Structure 1
């Protein structure tokens, strides 16, 4: 007897059309099964979403590929993500079966760190734990300065959750930080606590895993054999059986947002859906929480838990001394980094004392950009029209794969080969310090080095063993690391960071400065650390919040500013982008949609086009329209209009790049 099923094809379909189609099978199949289907004249794959009744029309048969590939909660999560982010169901499903292969290989073991030292809870930590256990709410903002004991709170809760037979998901913003975190959790939970977990019951899931390794972890999570999962943003799509706790570390980090392709999901929002499906506790953790999460806490939508800096017996964590200084780390004409004598002397003293210095730099590579020495024209990528950056012996585009040898490149305007670096990046600072202080052992913490597992492991090992004197890196070094020997943090050029046109730039920029300063004076240090900010504008009001060490005061001020402009969290922003290989059809379609939005929905929303001309990214032209809504709910008729947009349109809900 035939059974009938609603199947979601694994292809991109128009948003306005149904994404579920009825098929039949002679055998009983489970929801979530991976099947082969005929779709039009093609053979493709799909996922069974639900069983259904016989329809009044003939159906095609399906053949089974894999029984129960997705769990029922993954099916439910896929629906929620597709609906919220205006994305075809088939595109969302790919996130759940990413890297799936028949072969399974355990990932290489990460060696455990030293034996765990028992920690005594502070009064504030005990009170926080008691409050969490007592409240009926499931969503929390855990807010406290660096070294306030936030991680210890999560570890205690994770232990109880796993003992109750449920799984724990810890999200981290970067792969590099994940390697640091899994060692902390291994140190704590492998044979050292009531749990006595084995190394096979703790896993680190991230995008750099081999397909066979990712599949191995997915299957062990699905069977319940893996209890504790550290993961980057894609971890929210894993096949959990009994999820009891989700913790999002450094919740303010922009890397939790998918930037490149639809669905443009945010792991924090998806984690909220996941928490509701499993009735799991969800923690947003940060020393510098996002404006959005802080506002939700003030509105009682999520429960606010505040922790002060640690004060236990002899351990008293002090905020660092923060100095805002006039820029003097440049050579004339702003071309290169120069280490002045005063700073050089201070770093030398720290090296002799076996203390650590860190430099936070806006750009990796040799420079911020490359310019022509003759006509001062900036060298741009021919595909993206974005500035090229000097990486080793090449000028490279960070937005596409374009690169050209620095020996053969020439100015696009005057044809000159006399090209020079403008500003500085991580590598040029390392070169200058190496020249001035040849005895210093330097580690570069940027994407060029973190993308390779061997160099990543070596950097971590060298930092932990104390063989590094100076860390030079991009934002990665400011996120969540525990550097007990870090005594000096330096921002050599506070004006060089990108994104000033974005409404949330102040929030992200200042958060990273707070985070960097928070790496200084960790528990176990001498508590004499300093953070030096070199700037051309020492009167910048943002620095006042930093020097007074008051992130919450900044949040309150920023909320007032955003409320006046109906910006998130008081309003909602969507970015719709049209892509085409041809320029003329793009310009016509963008104009048509812009005119329709601005004329028919002028009472419900504000519409703008952020770029005067279409931009080219890789091989496609693209142009975006920004839609700003006063309030968090998208009006029904605007929603209906968005669903009818053509296949060449992409919808980015809550974009970060505006």
Structure 2
């Protein structure tokens, strides 16, 4: 504890891309309030105010410049722990970004106040009696203008430090930040019902007898409530009224008689079903569980390699139960928010209210509440996507990364461009927690780590219960076309199998990893193709919106009926997206319910959950989906999976294309036949001899991965070499060329042939920015990773010091996914 008359200085971490933290002086009256991890309001520049995090406290006087004072301390207790600050620092150093960029990604928006944040009244705002004069002024002003900036309110009130006032109104539920408005805000509390707990069984029986004589409807409602309470932790009022056909008047009358109580409970703690006992593990699962425990006892990371439908989740639950019973916390990461839909119900079923879910599909308020609940120790399990690594754990005991091979675990833009698997592993190390990676198709990096002894592997080779592996048929598209066994994009065999499955009232998934109607429209006369005006890419035609659209910048173009180059009307549609496949299937199977499952038809988690629920309830016969449908779903009635064209993925120009194609095809194939009757998978390809297709057909991951590792060793690719990709962008191509040439030359002076480029990427212009890329490869056993990072940082600073190149954007991406 510092003396209240000591002169203190604090390093403040701000949500800005600044290379260092800024130092501020602490007013004497705030000495006892300042603590590492608390938010403080500081001035940046001449006018702008920010809420930053205290990262360091010192009595050392900074030299060379005049130090500003912090304006106020916002929090009573720290909102960020020391381990979080250490974790953020590690991420910034490893992924070549600033701590401010990490802070912006990590903190909930509700904790990131700045003077340009917009403020507005909540939709369900009700007048609160205990408000001071300034709070009333803010409310009256917002009622007139709708919304305004924090800086404007500060100007109107002639008050520099307005953040505490905004915080007070926010906590009272009167105002929300602009970001809250764009989300579907849900009330924090839900009305619930319960029979007055003061009544004994004898007294309650007397009430039943009395109502039987006076009001049958009241009696029926009270008895239904009694029945519901025996099955549920809480009874939601609106749900009870709806499902029992009870009027609100009857509920109010019973409440007035004190027979029942109407009370409110936090929405996040509303759980309809009491936590059930976990099911017993099968002998195979129990053996795997014991082997995992042995790995954990050696303080090593464990890779659970279990075939699809082997019941890995049951083992996860057993491990989670053990850790929770020890009083520790669990982080369970999935790659896609769509995956959480089925998992949520299973988690709630077995763990009740100690589990919460977090991802970008939830509102800012919901995510902020989850942050607070974990920070306050109210929950023990976090189920989320990659950003859940930033949650405020205090007693983390276990980290589970499900589908650890998925590329969506890697953040692309903006910075920090982190990989959730690797970050979660480091976070676990800071807590001395256990780490379990699970997948039916592990990443080659994890496979290699097992071979080198860094990880230990536990295998599950049999499917759960009596389910069998699906039968895989390969259709040679070249032969099918030569023998007239094709109808549009579908082979006659695939169409016949779909017909047979539908006749048995089973379900089908058709996989095509291209959304839209067609990826390319081309003039048959001159070869003209509609292209984006901002990007170096052709436009995808979307039939649902009757326009062309760029998948990179969102540029839209009205549908064209003739060539804009030669005027010809002979425009041909090339390729098949999910929209076109859906349309074709509706022609072949007009009586079937067919729906798409891609980022267009399921834009948020609620739409995704709706489609998944409908498929589970057998309301949908065929789903046409992209890779979103391949990940972890369990559909008991699904019997057939069709892969329309496997070559799109196999031929992609990426050193990981074989690995990722095998993973994708295996995962989507694993959705079929997950019960007693074996399913079938039909793969259409022009390359039936390809190593990926052979590995898929024979379920031979070992030979494929050994071949891939051999090729990567030969050509210096991960996991033997590390890669850092530098992307150089600018609106003027000549500037990009000059900056990239100088940067590459500087790096080659030190790293020689380990620097590749500069080269134009597959798409060389996006959003009117020309792009060049430089690839830095290095062997971490020979070259120090920290030295390579320092070299890159210094090289970027060198470019930025050249006046004409100052505006060039250079973004490093460590361990990139191409």
| TM beyond 0.5 | yes
TM-score (norm 1): 0.90
- Call closer, same or farther: CA 1:108–1:583 in 2, change over 3 Å: farther
Deviates more, 1:502-511 or 1:134-143: 134-143
Task: Give the SS at the match of 2:724.
Answer: strand
Structure 1 segment 245-644 matched on structure 2, within 5 A = 245-310=398-463, 315-327=465-477, 337-391=488-542, 392=544, 393-406=546-559, 408=560, 411=563, 413-414=565-566, 416=568, 418-497=570-649, 500-522=652-674, 524-527=675-678, 529-602=679-752, 605-611=754-760, 615-631=764-780, 633-634=783-784, 637-644=787-794
- Call closer, same or farther: CA 1:501–1:451 in 2, change over 3 Å: same
Between the aligned partners of 1:401 and 1:590, the Cα distance in structure 2 is 27
Between the aligned partners of 2:394 and 2:569, the Cα distance in structure 1 is 60
Between the aligned partners of 1:185 and 1:269, the Cα distance in structure 2 is 24
Partner of 2:279: 119
Between the aligned partners of 2:786 and 2:369, the Cα distance in structure 1 is 43
- 1:597-653 alpha-carbon deviations (Å, 9 max, x no partner): 2233216x2322342799322143322111111336545553322122146311100
Between the aligned partners of 1:390 and 1:184, the Cα distance in structure 2 is 39
- 1:393-420 alpha-carbon deviations (Å, 9 max, x no partner): 11111111211222x5764544556544
Task: For residue 331 of structure 1, report the CA deviation from its aligned partner.
Answer: 12
Task: For residue 546 of structure 1, report the CA deviation from its aligned partner.
Answer: 1.0
Partner of 2:213: none
Q: Do the aligned residues in 1 keep the contact of 2:755 with 2:774 (CA within 8 Å)? A: no
- 1:69-106 alpha-carbon deviations (Å, 9 max, x no partner): 22222111110100000101111110112432546755
Q: Do the aligned residues in 1 keep the contact of 2:328 with 2:396 (CA within 8 Å)? A: yes
Task: Give the SS at the match of 1:448.
Answer: coil
Deviates more, 1:90-99 or 1:66-75: 66-75
TM-score (norm 2): 0.73
Partner of 1:55: 61
Between the aligned partners of 1:442 and 1:452, the Cα distance in structure 2 is 20
Task: Give the SS at the match of 2:615.
Answer: helix
- Call closer, same or farther: CA 1:226–1:432 in 2, change over 3 Å: same
Task: For residue 455 of structure 1, report the CA deviation from its aligned partner.
Answer: 2.8
Partner of 1:140: 302
Deviates more, 1:239-248 or 1:116-125: 116-125
Between the aligned partners of 1:571 and 1:241, the Cα distance in structure 2 is 35
Task: For residue 458 of structure 1, report the CA deviation from its aligned partner.
Answer: 2.0
Deviates more, 1:150-159 or 1:320-329: 320-329
Task: Give the SS at the match of 1:7.
Answer: strand
- Higher Rg: 2
Partner of 2:263: none
Partner of 1:227: 380
Q: How many residues align?
A: 638
Task: Give the SS at the match of 1:601.
Answer: helix
- 1:127-157 alpha-carbon deviations (Å, 9 max, x no partner): 2222332323242111111122211111001
- 1:364-403 alpha-carbon deviations (Å, 9 max, x no partner): 1212322224323332211111221122211111111211
Task: For residue 19 of structure 1, report the CA deviation from its aligned partner.
Answer: 3.5
- 1:341-382 alpha-carbon deviations (Å, 9 max, x no partner): 443332222112221111110201212322224323332211
Q: Do the aligned residues in 1 keep the contact of 2:338 with 2:605 (CA within 8 Å)? A: no
Query: Which structure has the highest helix share of the two?
Result: 2
Deviates more, 1:1-10 or 1:506-515: 1-10
Aligned to 2:84, which of 74, 91, 95? 74
- 1:541-579 alpha-carbon deviations (Å, 9 max, x no partner): 221111111223322221111111121000011101122
Q: Do the aligned residues in 2 keep the contact of 1:597 with 1:607 (CA within 8 Å)? A: no
Deviates more, 1:118-127 or 1:388-397: 118-127
Task: Give the SS at the match of 1:377.
Answer: coil
Task: For residue 113 of structure 1, report the CA deviation from its aligned partner.
Answer: 9.1
Between the aligned partners of 2:609 and 2:763, the Cα distance in structure 1 is 42
Partner of 2:110: 100
Task: Give the SS at the match of 1:639.
Answer: helix
Aligned to 1:36, which of 34, 41, 51? 41
Task: For residue 108 of structure 1, report the CA deviation from its aligned partner.
Answer: 7.9
Task: List alignment gaps of at least 5 residues for structure 1.
Answer: 190-196
- Call closer, same or farther: CA 1:114–1:50 in 2, change over 3 Å: closer
- Call closer, same or farther: CA 1:99–1:38 in 2, change over 3 Å: closer
- Call closer, same or farther: CA 1:445–1:625 in 2, change over 3 Å: same
Task: Give the SS at the match of 1:496.
Answer: helix
Aligned to 2:289, which of 101, 111, 129? 129
Deviates more, 1:342-351 or 1:633-642: 633-642
Task: For residue 470 of structure 1, report the CA deviation from its aligned partner.
Answer: 1.0
Deviates more, 1:411-420 or 1:447-456: 411-420
Coordinate RMSD, CA, aligned = 2.8
Task: Give the SS at the match of 1:532.
Answer: strand
Between the aligned partners of 1:594 and 1:614, the Cα distance in structure 2 is 20
Between the aligned partners of 1:498 and 1:122, the Cα distance in structure 2 is 37
Report whether the alignment pairs 1:174 with 2:174: no
Task: For residue 482 of structure 1, report the CA deviation from its aligned partner.
Answer: 0.7
Q: Do the aligned residues in 1 keep the contact of 2:489 with 2:576 (CA within 8 Å)? A: no
Partner of 1:193: none
- 1:507-559 alpha-carbon deviations (Å, 9 max, x no partner): 0011111111211221x3412x1111111111112211111112233222211
Between the aligned partners of 2:323 and 2:705, the Cα distance in structure 1 is 32
- Call closer, same or farther: CA 1:51–1:496 in 2, change over 3 Å: same
Task: For residue 109 of structure 1, report the CA deviation from its aligned partner.
Answer: 8.8
- 1:326-352 alpha-carbon deviations (Å, 9 max, x no partner): 12788999x994445443332222112
Q: Do the aligned residues in 2 keep the contact of 1:36 with 1:64 (CA within 8 Å)? A: yes
Task: Give the SS at the match of 2:596.
Answer: strand
Between the aligned partners of 1:281 and 1:258, the Cα distance in structure 2 is 23
Task: List alignment gaps of at least 5 residues for structure 2.
Answer: 112-169, 174-186, 189-266, 801-808
Structure 1 segment 12-31 matched on structure 2, within 5 A = 12-14=17-19, 18-26=20-28, 27=30, 28=32, 29-31=34-36
Q: Do the aligned residues in 1 keep the contact of 2:597 with 2:626 (CA within 8 Å)? A: yes
Task: For residue 38 of structure 1, report the CA deviation from its aligned partner.
Answer: 2.8
Task: For residue 6 of structure 1, report the CA deviation from its aligned partner.
Answer: 1.7
Task: For residue 118 of structure 1, report the CA deviation from its aligned partner.
Answer: 5.9
Q: Do the aligned residues in 1 keep the contact of 2:549 with 2:556 (CA within 8 Å)? A: yes
Between the aligned partners of 2:269 and 2:569, the Cα distance in structure 1 is 49
